[in-house]
Structure 1
Amino acid sequence: MEYHEAANFLFDLRRYPSRTGVEPTRRLLEHVGVADTDIDIVQVGGSNGKGSTARMVESVLREAGYDVGLYTSPHLDDLRERVRVDGRPVSKQAVCDYVEDIKPYVRTEMPDGAPPTFFEAMTGLAARTFERAGVDIAVLEVGIGGEHDATSAFAPDAAAVTNVTFEHSDLLGDTIAEIARDKAAIGADAPLVTAAEGEALSVIEDIAASTERVGTDASADVAVRDRGRDDIEQAVVLDGDDWHVETALPLLGAHQARNAGVAAALARTVGNVSTADIERGLRNAHWPGRFEVMNREPLVVLDGAHNPGSCAGVAATLSTFAYDDLHLVFGAMCDKDHRGMVEALPDATVAYTCRPDIQRAETADSLAAVFEAVGGAAAVEPVGAVEDAVERALAAAGSDDAVIVCGSLFAVAAARRRWTRHYVPTRMVDRGAAVETLRRADVPAAEAARTAGNSVSQTVTTRLRPAVAETVVSEFRRLGGSCAVSGVDAGDNDLTEVVLSGTLDQFERLEGALSDHGAGIARLGAALRSTADGESEGNSGYPWDDGTAVMGILNVTPDSFHDGGRYDTTADAVEQAERLVDAGADIIDVGGESTRPGAEPVPVDAEKRRVIPVVESIADSDALVSVDTRKAAVARAALDAGADILNDVSGLEDPDMRLVAADYDVPVVVMHSIHTPVDPAADIEYDDVVADTVAALSERVLLAEKAGLDREQIIIDPGLGFGKSPAESFELLGRLKAFTALGCPVLVGHSRKSMFGLVDRDSADERLSATVAASALAAERGADIVRVHDVAENVAAVKTAAAASDPEAFTE
């Protein structure tokens, strides 16, 4: 079975409406063999904040060393987002295996009218994925209510009800008490944590086996003090009977402080977690679309607020920012309390109403009528498509204004793609390569073979909503271009993969053709043309602007795999730095902690003692100085000592690292790595190592960008050899062009690595020639920086690649 067939099967289950009761889910779990599990189950319910809270619990537990499964809904772009193991989405192969298993079962349930719904099937996928991955704890976000939700087919070991407001009265009841009773049932036989108040709290305390209350008053079991917004973080203090935590949250708002209190108490209930685990876990609990600040000038915020209570939270958090005019982009589902939501939001200068591409979304005109009736905006403009509304708002906003997108996570998902959509360039050098590129995009085999026969040199892959894909494909085919579309029959608001192949002239004409289809599609056309063009002018002032820069490695460690112990003294390290500069190094990368397999972590003070004297001694050399560290405290000290660049092999796992880089306004290397501390020998399963690595780096890049860095300052490192097999590392090297989709400089660190065992270079001492060859390949494929031990030889390699690409530049 191919992935598009499996995904289509699951999407097709959406035709069955939501229902109450857990028996259908239990039967499905029995069929796939996971009805009984030894995994500890944490169930998170509530009216608002349950997704954020579930993510916080997962982050804290992972910080404490547990392997954790996370099941949430809805997804923003890809159904696999709903099921994650240690942060990574379920693999396409696992989805295929699961669907093959349940297809006969679904067929047998059809005659009795009881086939699983989409949510029930996804719950089964989560359960089997977590069981097969052997996670320690699974965190499940409740879909609707609690007692009759599919996730209640499991017996939780701990549970939470974040809060209770009016919602889904057709299923849960017409009063707060009835709704609270349904939600509280998840804690009937397990300890339950809640931040509910008033009547809802009384009902919960009557039903739950035991209740731990989170609140802002001193009598609460967990007392929460919200210390307000500190730039892009929310400062919070949590106090329990015998524990105290002071930390910051990447999720803004006083309501998130309460969610953090629930998450901390819940994590302590189910796991052995320290206060340090809670502090760092909460600070790393990023969750897209929840008062997510995408830009500063103007202030741009995305929030999936979808009821009056959550809209009030948006208003309260927004009030902590200074801005002039408010441009509000609003799209909502038809079954929501539109009037209550508009009344809860701050008054806007202009409200741009829109309709997400989903059947149950309310029309832009109807929402505009609500704003006009309530008086929620000085001017109201019904626009239509979310993307067009966002572009109109951004075009109208001044640098001191604010742009807010809210009303539904579906609206937020559509808007967020403006910042997260990738345009991946590919050069189809032969028919076999063309077929392989198309198959990776889930294009059915017959269409891939047909399209590959017509493919030409300029090729761009991206993901679009089906309606937008239809427009783009139609226009490009009219211009003579070749197109292929994923076989995944995505829902209206989901994304489908599109591969466009044609001449640069055809892409330029496509840009013109799409300019008449609305602001969102017009911007898409410009991005497609720019990617096909492949040209960019460096203007950052860094050495990689003028070609591939060479970073020389200077390890001041006793245990690095190739040169450990050679430069233990500051004098020896400085002499080596001078040799690297004389050999042509543009950057010297000073590292005080080895990342080789089995290396012991180095305490902060010990790492500083190794690194800082060396940085101080070479800060005035003719090369830039980089510090190779995953600790923000070491990074800050190194920058104070004169370092110019940060190189973080953990990919910003220290929550302070991105803020330090932004505070000092310096470039930071963000490497793709699965584990922290880094485990280069980790055995990781990828569907497509390149696409998976690009996707993972995309969110890390966004974190750095939201901290205040420009993309030209965020250097991405695919992490060759880190959680990748030798063959996968070579695939990353071979398809390096794909990483240009992120719009950042690219660093390749391959020097003398074990990946070269694949070409019969088994020891580090035998790998110089292979490293030099790989440097030439990396330079030819667009690497901005190569990180190497042997500078002179690799400088020659990148110059040779440059001369082959542009010989006139080397002609006197």
Structure 2
Amino acid sequence: MNDIRERIQVNGRKISKKELTTLVERIRPHVATRSAAGDAPTQFEALTALGIACFSQRDVDVAILEVGIGGRYDATSVVDPVASAVTSVSLEHTDLLGDTVEEIAKDKAQVAPAAKPLVTGATENSLSAILEETDVITVGEQDADILVRTNGLVSRTEEEVVIDGEGWHVETQLSLLGRHQAINAGIATALARQFAAVNEQTVAQGLRRANWPGRFEIVASDPQVVLDGAHNPDACSKLATLVERYDYDDLHLVFGALRDKNHEEMVKNLPALDTVTLCRPNVDRGATPETLERVFNSKTAARVAVVPEVLDAVEQTITRADPDDLVVITGSLYTVSEARDRWTRRPIPKQLSKTRCIHDLLPGSTQGTILPNTISEKTIKTYCRPATAERLKELMFSIGGTAAVSDIDGVHQHIDIVLNGSHEEFTQLIEVLEGANGELSHIATQLRSVLDEDRDATNVLPWSEDQMIMGILNVTPDSFHDGGEYARVEDAVSRADQMATAGADIIDIGGESTRPGADPVSAEQELDRIIPVIERLADRDVPVTVDTLKPAVAKAAIEAGADAINDVSGLADPDMRRVIAEYDVPVVLMHSIDTPVNPDRSVTYDDVVEDVITDLTEQMILAERAGIDREQIIIDPGIGFGKSAAENFELIARLAEFRALECPLLIGHSHKSMFTHVSCGPDDRLAPTVATTALAAERHADIIRVHDVAENAAAMRVAKAMADRW
């Protein structure tokens, strides 16, 4: 929502900055020629061209294009689709598509493929108009080719959905709530079946994991806070229907819209409101709060206040609300995008050296004069909107610090900024920013959390306030280092006792290997391996964690006595999030691309540390949305999972930057293939493992997960003694 690269994704990952730059240079001559001729392409046309070029270059199997304004004249009409859908039709873009739903529907119908019927959730007059243009497969709650029904909420963030077609049946849960999203799920299923041989289980799993930030996204509790990008009357009506499902005392609305929208109809379709805080999204098209104020005063009985800056409006509204109230932030995706910064922006502490200056943290930047770095100076990297970045840079220079801003024009998107100065200079900067409004004030709060000398006290482990060694106990026949050694229960229990005596603070039991090429095992087989061991260790003083991807295994393990779950998929399965929330146990949330590891999957990072922090931030939002307490989350950057050897070393070298996430940090590097980078084969990795443990401990890793406990515990003690002494 804040990065243009989010609009072009492959396998769920946005394209890298380097790839985007290469693609832009590829189309730049054509854009320049068209512009010189007075026929410059729109931003959407340029992005469509970039996306198609990217998909072609990556040789993707399936490319999905979302239209802009509609059908006949849309930029996406340059392709010949194998399958197409019109989800619904409402009065929008009337200046281009027509003044009635019938006219708009006929235009949108032009996306229909040549060889397949158009899939649609349109109804009544709009459906009749589409039928005049093409054959269709209809999706709806009744009188449709594919029938969809919702069976109600199964949690505050998910509802059960049933989809029935001729000869097939799908039951699943959606985190995208509402009748309209259930119909969209039916449309997606029909599309997939038109061009791929997908079975019901695959479809159910895919829908189950679908996530769409800013679409009735619950981001906080006590009070419950919802982000929803409703930006037209129809979307506001759907929002009102969703709000009716929840129990709350008062409803507080934060609303910012674009000036070319039908504000009166939007307000009329919203749910009954107690208070409204009006703001203006930071775009040229943003409607003034004063304009909106007249509409709300005439159409509602709510108490209306004007707070121009989005983040100020959000903060004041949340502060005013009681724990049992509901806060809804809506009116425009631009408004939601700015509001979401409150939960996603995490300034990252950086380390400079004689060979690494600010511009190395911000490739291509030339703004700002960089002074020599000294030991006492601090460096923090963050992002904000362009005007905010310029003001922040000016303020940092005015108090004696230095700064660099990305040369990339972010328009309404984020751009990067790096700040450099002494602790005193940052303190002074924060004091100035706290007196400002909007984004600057919000950045002040975030900078203060980074600078707080005692902030490590917030990263308290569930079992200790000190660094801990986690001993690995694989009860598997095929794990990469010790597979088969502890498959017998007696051997496993004996090994756990040995590790505890040698200094293990935690025992991590694994019943399924995630090494490259590992064969998956059933939940029953995994439980047969681990439950007897968990039960035997239940009376020991050492906490037991279970390394599993499966919700059923996690649930049974906790009930058998396990103290925490270690999920190397990063809670990818929504059911796992629900289990952790239900039992309120600590969880290790790891960054991974594939589990088991797929050595053939190529992943490009712009900056592996910053990209992993960004991904983990989104995973943490999903975890908290499911009801998991932030204090129960331990994060793991995922050494060896979707990273090269060099990237793994960089993650460890820059562990301090993960303090931006304000959660305990676990590192698992033991005997991994990254050590081939330093000429150590599979049988020669103890020494580099121990050396890396010392480095990770020195960089304040909270938990270090290893096979060889005694040697690594000694390395941790040395690192701690050095830190305490010097």
Q: TM-score, normalised by structure 1?
A: 0.87
1:475 matched residue in structure 2: 395
| 1:46-65 correspondence runs (5 A) | none
Pair 715,334 (structure 1): closer, same or farther in 2 beyond 3 Å: same
The secondary structure found in structure 1 opposite 2:469 is: strand
Contact 1:587 1:625 in 2 (8 A): yes
Q: Following the alignment from structure 2 to structure 1, what is the Cα–Cα distance between the partners of residues 280 and 590?
A: 38
Q: Following the alignment from structure 1 to structure 2, what is the Cα–Cα distance between the partners of residues 113 and 542?
A: 62
Instruction: Note if 1:235 corresponds to 2:155.
Output: no
Contact 1:649 1:678 in 2 (8 A): no
- State the shift of 1:157 in Å: 0.5
| 1:501-650 correspondence runs (5 A) | 501-518=420-437, 521-538=440-457, 542=461, 545-650=464-569
Contact 2:389 2:415 in 1 (8 A): yes
Pair 534,485 (structure 1): closer, same or farther in 2 beyond 3 Å: farther
2:124 matched residue in structure 1: 198
Identity %: 50
- State the shift of 1:522 in Å: 2.7
1:390 matched residue in structure 2: 314
The secondary structure found in structure 2 opposite 1:272 is: coil
The secondary structure found in structure 1 opposite 2:527 is: helix
2:298 matched residue in structure 1: 373
Q: Following the alignment from structure 2 to structure 1, what is the Cα–Cα distance between the partners of residues 466 and 256?
A: 45
- State the shift of 1:532 in Å: 2.5
Instruction: Note if 1:318 corresponds to 2:243.
Output: yes
- State the shift of 1:415 in Å: 0.3
Contact 1:332 1:407 in 2 (8 A): yes
| 1:123-162 correspondence runs (5 A) | 123-162=48-87
Q: Following the alignment from structure 2 to structure 1, what is the Cα–Cα distance between the partners of residues 460 and 79?
A: 57
Pair 770,676 (structure 1): closer, same or farther in 2 beyond 3 Å: closer
Q: Which amino acid aligns with 2:153?
A: R
Q: Which amino acid aligns with 1:591?
A: G
Q: Following the alignment from structure 1 to structure 2, what is the Cα–Cα distance between the partners of residues 355 and 261?
A: 36
Range that drifts further, 265-274 or 385-394: 265-274
Q: Following the alignment from structure 2 to structure 1, what is the Cα–Cα distance between the partners of residues 3 and 401?
A: 27
Contact 2:257 2:332 in 1 (8 A): yes
Contact 1:166 1:176 in 2 (8 A): yes
- Cα shift readout 1:562-605 (whole Å, capped 9, x = no counterpart): 10000111111000000111111111110011112111111111
1:433 matched residue in structure 2: 356
- State the shift of 1:644 in Å: 0.9
2:107 matched residue in structure 1: 182
| 1:241-320 correspondence runs (5 A) | 241-320=166-245
2:33 matched residue in structure 1: 108
| 1:766-805 correspondence runs (5 A) | 766-805=684-723
Pair 674,540 (structure 1): closer, same or farther in 2 beyond 3 Å: closer
Pair 600,793 (structure 1): closer, same or farther in 2 beyond 3 Å: same
- Cα shift readout 1:112-149 (whole Å, capped 9, x = no counterpart): 22232211111111111111212110111111111211
- State the shift of 1:287 in Å: 0.5
Q: Following the alignment from structure 1 to structure 2, what is the Cα–Cα distance between the partners of residues 292 and 103?
A: 37
- State the shift of 1:454 in Å: 5.5
> Can you give the 5+ residue segments of structure 1 that lack an aligned partner in the other structure?
1-75
Q: Which amino acid aligns with 1:462?
A: T
Q: Which amino acid aligns with 2:360?
A: R
| 1:757-768 correspondence runs (5 A) | 757-763=676-682, 765-768=683-686
Contact 2:433 2:440 in 1 (8 A): yes
> Can you give the 5+ residue segments of structure 2 that lack an aligned partner in the other structure?
none
Q: Following the alignment from structure 1 to structure 2, what is the Cα–Cα distance between the partners of residues 693 and 395?
A: 31
Contact 1:323 1:401 in 2 (8 A): yes
The secondary structure found in structure 2 opposite 1:468 is: helix
Q: Following the alignment from structure 1 to structure 2, what is the Cα–Cα distance between the partners of residues 162 and 229?
A: 23
- State the shift of 1:228 in Å: 1.8
Q: Following the alignment from structure 2 to structure 1, what is the Cα–Cα distance between the partners of residues 587 and 509?
A: 14
Pair 542,98 (structure 1): closer, same or farther in 2 beyond 3 Å: closer
1:459 matched residue in structure 2: 379
Q: Following the alignment from structure 1 to structure 2, what is the Cα–Cα distance between the partners of residues 86 and 361?
A: 33
Range that drifts further, 220-229 or 400-409: 220-229
- State the shift of 1:539 in Å: 6.2
Q: Which amino acid aligns with 1:506?
A: E
The secondary structure found in structure 1 opposite 2:274 is: strand
Q: Following the alignment from structure 1 to structure 2, what is the Cα–Cα distance between the partners of residues 653 and 399?
A: 29
Q: Following the alignment from structure 1 to structure 2, what is the Cα–Cα distance between the partners of residues 453 and 409?
A: 42
| 1:646-795 correspondence runs (5 A) | 646-679=565-598, 682-763=601-682, 765-795=683-713
Q: Following the alignment from structure 2 to structure 1, what is the Cα–Cα distance between the partners of residues 437 and 149?
A: 46
Contact 1:711 1:743 in 2 (8 A): no
Contact 1:737 1:782 in 2 (8 A): yes
The secondary structure found in structure 2 opposite 1:384 is: coil
Q: Which amino acid aligns with 2:119?
A: V
Range that drifts further, 790-799 or 286-295: 790-799
Contact 2:459 2:664 in 1 (8 A): no
- State the shift of 1:538 in Å: 3.6
Pair 534,256 (structure 1): closer, same or farther in 2 beyond 3 Å: farther
- Cα shift readout 1:314-369 (whole Å, capped 9, x = no counterpart): 11101111111111000001110100000111122111111011001101111111
- State the shift of 1:82 in Å: 0.3
Q: Which amino acid aligns with 2:97?
A: L
1:83 matched residue in structure 2: 8
Q: Which amino acid aligns with 1:800?
A: V
Contact 1:595 1:678 in 2 (8 A): yes
Range that drifts further, 679-688 or 636-645: 679-688
- Cα shift readout 1:385-418 (whole Å, capped 9, x = no counterpart): 1111101101110101111000000000000110
The secondary structure found in structure 2 opposite 1:752 is: coil
Contact 1:670 1:716 in 2 (8 A): yes
Q: Following the alignment from structure 1 to structure 2, what is the Cα–Cα distance between the partners of residues 489 and 534?
A: 34
Q: Following the alignment from structure 1 to structure 2, what is the Cα–Cα distance between the partners of residues 747 and 680?
A: 23
1:173 to 98, 102, 106: 98
Range that drifts further, 79-88 or 271-280: 271-280
- State the shift of 1:188 in Å: 5.3
Contact 1:188 1:207 in 2 (8 A): no
